Amino acid sequence: MIKYKTEGDYIELIKLLKLVKLAQTGGHAKLLVDEGAVKLNGQVEIRKRAKIRKGDRLECNGELIEVE
């Protein structure tokens, strides 16, 4: 499990995927979202710039990310 502490109110999904090293580039992050490989709180997320807030849980390629 990866724990990420957000500095502001939210972080955009593709930025978070890059910061936690699940995507090498922004293009790779967008591709993961387009392929349906990202779940936000148990639901497949299709919005690349979805606002991820404290308490959200993401799943991507078998990794769990908890936002604090």
Break the chain into its structural domains and give their ranges. Answer: 2-67
d(CA 31, CA 6): 23
pLDDT category at 47 given cuts 50, 70, 90 is: very high
* Averaged pLDDT, 8-20: 95
pLDDT category at 40 given cuts 50, 70, 90 is: very high
**Mean pLDDT over each residue of the chain, to the nearest integer:** 95
For the domain 2-67, what is the CATH code? 3.10.290.10
pLDDT at 35: 96
Contact between 16 and 68 under an 8 Å Cβ cutoff? The reply is: no
